[in-house]
Amino acid sequence: MSAMGHGPGAVHLRRLSFSFPTRTGAPLPVLDKVDLAIPGGGIVALVGPNGCGKSTLLRVIAGLLEPGSGEALLDGTPIAGPDPRIGLVFQEPRLLPWRSAADNITYPLELAGWPPARRRARLARLSELVDLDPAVTTSRPAELSGGTRQRVALARALALEPEVLLLDESFSALDALTRERFDLELLRLWHRAATTIVIVTHSIPEAILIADRVVVLSARPARIVADITIDLPRPRTIAALDDPAAGRASHRIRAFLEDDEGGEIAGERAASIPLARELAS
Amino acid sequence: MTRSAALSVVAAFAVFVLVWKAVVVVSGLPSFILPAPETVAVRFVDAWRDGTIEPHLGTTLIEVGLGFAVGVALALIAGYGLARSVLVERLLSPYLVAAQAIPILALAPLLVLWFGNGLLSKVIICSLIVFFPVAVATMVGIRSVDARLLELGRSLRATRRQVLLTLEVPAALPNILGGMRVGVTLAVVGALVGEWAGANQGLGVLINLARGSLFDIPLMFATLVTIALVGIVLYLMVVVVERRLVGNR
């Protein structure tokens, strides 16, 4: 089956640059002319060295940061601030500690002004979607395990039926086995909800298991070093990682990451700059 | 409260009364210096029966209630402004510190002179004394709101009002209620100080009467017990509210 749909949720980044203001006055460049096209329903994983600006890139797509130059488009129109069509799962669950799990999940609906009856109906569907044990919905976050908390956070991000789901290293705090389960559940969820997924991760196996394409970013300021298509059939299981194609992809991603740490400009990155200009013009 | 906690309160009270009685017996002090606990108890019951305490208590309770409410309301607004606006903090903090540096005891006669012998001056004094701890607690509480939760609110397009009601207030609530616990006992102090500075009715007035023209020292002690009870009951009311609002976090 085709992983690249053409439904809603297409994200386009065009020569996107971003700098953080600093106390000394000279802005700190974080993103440098990033060009990226993600078709609606596609899954892209962003990998790169620590502090390279992956999370910043995600925040620009989420509308939390305004691009310095260039543009970020959702379905062809510029992303102007946070958008209900985009759901964001943070690195930590980020739940409101004084609310029950259920009230955390329906928090976006509450803010959007949904009446309680509709919220309850949606809660039931969301709990089922992320496979949340109904018995824990009345518990406070402090009483839940790390995995369950992240499940609640995932349900919250899906509450408004987003076209795009952004995950910022969301499973990185989980133990290896739980993480694997979450990766597979994310795929199962993707088959049902058909959202575009952009996931920032440090785990190359996770990136390969989930994504259609793995985009490798350079050290700060982040540029796209490589855009590697993962040629594995869907639906995928954990066995997909044993496929020779997965091994080859892993090898290539690692090579690009190591290349960049040496400070060398990889051949493909140098080649991507004129290409980017071409795209922008 | 658990049974063992209730038991320890009763035990503490019993020890206090026993020591009191022992001091009276051993020292042989006359009743107009230190009356025995049972003398005070009898006077307390009598004073309630013949309606000596009730009107004074009513006046003081109204002063405390209004003063506390006004003080808390102003402190919440000021505390929020202090936490969220550098300008407000710069403008307000010198006054705050100055107001706190002048003892209320020294300020009370002036306020009574300006605002009269009645309710108004007492409410002002009460709210002044309540204001500081609650304003500081509110400021600290609002500042303690996790910036990551605020980012979550922003990503969900929460309005200013929604951020206040669903993020800032719940997060600051434990601090605010802690400030209110301190504030409510201070409100009683404020009312009595105001009454001492000049009033026609109130528990502070009754203490003065019992010591002076009536020369009824057991009544003075009975009034003291009443004041203590008022403070304890108000404090417990805040604690109950606190338990209900933030108890099971």
Q: Is residue B113 part of a domain?
A: yes
Nearest to B149 among A96, A108, A142 (CB): A96
pLDDT tens digit sequence for A238-270: 888 888 888 899 999 998 888 765 444 443 444
In this structure, which topology does domain A11-79+162-230+239-280 adopt according to CATH?
Rossmann fold (3.40.50)
- Identify which of A202, A192, A199, A194 has the alpha carbon closest to the alpha carbon of residue A213: A199
Q: Is residue B223 part of a domain?
A: yes
Residue-range domain boundaries for chain A: 11-79+162-230+239-280
Which domain range does residue B72 map to?
A: 39-246
Contacts of A64 in chain B (CB under 8 A): 151, 154-155
pLDDT tens digit sequence for A8-66: 889 999 998 998 888 888 888 889 889 999 999 999 999 988 888 888 999 999 999 99
Give, as one character, the DSSP assignment of residue B51.
T
Q: What is the Cβ-side half-sphere exposure of residue B32, based on CA atoms within 13 angstroms?
A: 6
Per-residue model confidence (pLDDT) at position A221: 87
Query: Across-strand partners of A74?
Result: A11, A77
Q: Hey, of A55, A66, A94, A119, which one would you mutate to test binding to chain B, going by the most B CBs within 10 A of its CB?
A: A94
pTM: 0.80
Express as a percent the part of chain B with pLDDT over 90: 77
A79 CA to chain B: closest CA distance, Å? Answer: 13
Least confident of A1-5, A38-42, A85-89, B41-45: A1-5
Q: Is residue B146 part of a domain?
A: yes
**φ/ψ of residue B29, rounded to 5:** -65, 145
Mean pLDDT of chain A: 86
Q: Is residue B8 part of a domain?
A: no
Nearest to A98 among B153, B156, B249 (CB): B249
The CATH number linked to B145 is: 1.10.3720.10
Q: Is residue B139 part of a domain?
A: yes
- For residue A28 the two structure tokens come to 């700190």
Looking only at Cα atoms, what is the longest distance across chain A? 58
Give, as one character, the DSSP assignment of residue A129.
H
- For residue B144 the two structure tokens come to 């303690």
Query: Across-strand partners of A36?
Result: A13
A contact set with B (CB within 8 A)? 62-64, 81-82, 84, 88, 90, 92, 94, 96-98, 107-108, 110-112, 140, 142
Burial tier of A153 (Cβ tally within 10 Å: 0-12, 13-18, 19+): buried
Per-residue model confidence (pLDDT) at position A260: 66
CB contact under 8 A, A98 and B167: no
Does an H or E element contain B36, and which? none
Per-residue model confidence (pLDDT) at position A193: 81
Q: How confident is the model at residue B1 (pLDDT cuts 50, 70, 90)?
A: low
- Arithmetic mean of pLDDT, A196-209: 92
pLDDT tens digit sequence for A118-165: 999 999 999 988 889 888 999 999 999 988 999 999 999 999 999 999
Nearest to A111 among B148, B157, B248 (CB): B157
User: ipTM of this predicted complex?
Assistant: 0.84
Interface size A-B, in CB pairs within 8 Å, comes to 44
How many domains in chain B? 1
Interatomic CA distance for residues A34 and A26, integer angstroms: 21
